[in-house]
Amino acid sequence: PVPVVAVVGRPNVGKSTLVNRIIGRRQAVVEDIPGVTRDRVPYDAQWSGRAFTVVDTGGWEPDAKDRAAAIAAQAEIAVATADVVLFVVDAMVGSTDVDEAAVKMLRRSAKPVILVANKADNATIEMESTSLWSLGLGEPFPISALHGRGSGDLLDKILQAL
Ligand code: GDP
Ligand code: MG
């Protein structure tokens, strides 16, 4: 079976942009409006001759209601059915209460998690991203999904974890 990598995080951190970067196509929908991806959307991906599935999800939020609750539930199913989880946070913003709540959810899942510090568009933000160690998920992996900075190294790290 092809290994599965789930991409999760709160709304607007750049999950879909990262998915597009990983698959090398602009297929996942990127929006300035939070909460555009409603379901779990699987895409075929390849790196260094290895095939895997990468799953885009909608923005995860704690204690969500109605539509947001359905989106969060789908993201949790994506985590439960993944081999590795990419937990995406916004390096420009730093860690938030919602990120901390997501960490608790991820711990319950007991899945291997790679902490992705996205929007590290330059060296300054990259350096500041070390503050994300506080989330307790180990070393933050700084990338810019938008510009491609660090994405090859991240893909190498994903393959190591699979
Ligand atoms: P999602 O809601 O987590 O799927 O986030 P999206 O991928 O839809 O992106 C939300 C917004 O963040 C869009 O305006 C993206 O262009 C922007 N964005 C995503 N990745 C980066 C990045 O690496 N750097 C910057 N500056 N913006 C980004
Ligand atoms: Mg999205």
Q: Per-residue confidence of the chain (162 residues) as pLDDT tens digits?
A: 899 999 999 999 999 999 999 999 777 776 655 555 568 899 999 999 999 999 999 999 999 898 889 899 999 999 999 999 999 999 999 999 999 999 999 999 999 999 999 999 999 999 999 999 999 999 999 999 999 999 999 999 999 999
Ligand 1 neighbourhood includes 59 CB (under 6 angstroms): yes
Q: What ipTM goes with this model?
A: 0.99
Residue 86 β-bridge partners: 7, 114
Q: How many CA atoms lie within 13 A of 99 on its CB side?
A: 21
Q: Determine which helix (DSSP H) or strand (DSSP E) holds 114, and give its type and residue range.
A: strand 113-118
Domains of the chain by start residue, with CATH: 4-161 (3.40.50.300)
119 Cα to the center of ligand 1, angstroms: 7
Of the candidates 22, 16, 7, 18, which has an alpha carbon nearest to the alpha carbon of residue 156? Answer: 22
pTM of the model as a whole: 0.95
Ligand 1 neighbourhood includes 21 CB (under 6 angstroms): no
Task: Give yes or no for a contact between 50 and 83, defined as CB atoms under 8 angstroms apart.
Answer: no
